[in-house]
């Protein structure tokens, strides 16, 4: 039997895994900026955190769209409990980050400590869990993994 295929792909390469690195990096950067603001009191870090968090939310929506296309387009992905834990956890994480962004937007740097920092910690914790579930789908269930055999590399012949 073939592996479950990613329906959102470009030239056979799944789009979802290409996009998820961005919100992951942005949300971890938000936590780092929050910790730095907490320790330094420099509002630059609170402002940077808000912008990075906003970029993470935009990229999370794009990654979620690609992931939703994969889930809706492949029955075998929908049958995996790991897929639903991954998706549900990510929806929860994005909602938490959306609340965090809104509080930062309306209250400014005052929203960072302790609320924004706690929300960032919780979101990154959830992201660790959902990332593990996403990895399970690839490594255990082979979602989006090509069925084709790798072609062995051959050294080019020297030209004389």
> What is the domain range of residue 24?
17-139
Residue 51's domain is classified under what CATH number? 1.20.120
List pLDDT tens digits, range 82-134: 999 999 999 999 999 999 999 999 999 999 999 999 999 999 999 999 999 99
In this structure, is residue 37 part of a structural domain? yes
CA distance 141 to 14: 15
Q: Is 38 part of any domain? A: yes
Burial class for 75, CB neighbours closer than 10 Å (0-12, 13-18, 19+):
exposed
The count of structural domains within the chain is 1
Cis check: omega of the bond before 114, within 30 degrees of 0: yes
Asked whether residue 4 is assigned to any structural domain, the reply reads no
Each residue's pLDDT tens digit, 26-45: 999 999 999 999 999 999 99
Q: What pTM does this model have? A: 0.89
Cα–Cα dist 112/150, whole Å: 49
Q: Is residue 3 part of a domain?
A: no
* Residue 92 structure tokens: 């929860």
Note whether residue 148 is domain-resident: no
The answer to whether residue 150 is domain-embedded is no
pLDDT (0 to 100) of residue 144: 86
What pLDDT is stored for residue 150 in this prediction? 63
Q: Whole-angstrom Cα distance, residue 2 to residue 60?
A: 29
In a domain, 47, yes or no: yes
Q: Can you read off the two tokens belonging to residue 28? A: 């971890």
Rounded CA-CA distance 35/46 in Å is 10
Q: pLDDT value at position 125?
A: 98
Whether 158 is covered by a domain: the verdict is no
């Amino acid at each position: 039997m073939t592996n479950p295929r990613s329906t959102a792909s470009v030239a056979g390469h799944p789009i979802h895994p290409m996009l998820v690195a961005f919100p992951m990096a942005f949300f971890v950067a938000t936590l780092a900026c929050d910790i730095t603001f907490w320790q330094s009191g420099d509002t630059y870090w609170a402002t940077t955190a808000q912008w990075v968090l906003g970029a993470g939310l935009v990229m999370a929506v794009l990654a979620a769209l690609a992931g939703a296309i994969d889930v809706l387009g492949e029955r075998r992905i929908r049958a995996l409990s790991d897929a639903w834990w991954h998706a549900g956890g990510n929806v929860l994480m994005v909602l938490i980050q959306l609340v965090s962004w809104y509080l930062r937007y309306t209250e400014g740097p005052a929203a960072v400590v302790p609320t924004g920092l706690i929300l960032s910690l919780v979101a990154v914790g959830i992201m660790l869990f959902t990332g593990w579930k996403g990895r399970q789908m690839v490594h255990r269930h082979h979602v989006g993994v090509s069925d084709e055999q790798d072609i062995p590399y051959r050294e080019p012949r020297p030209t004389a």
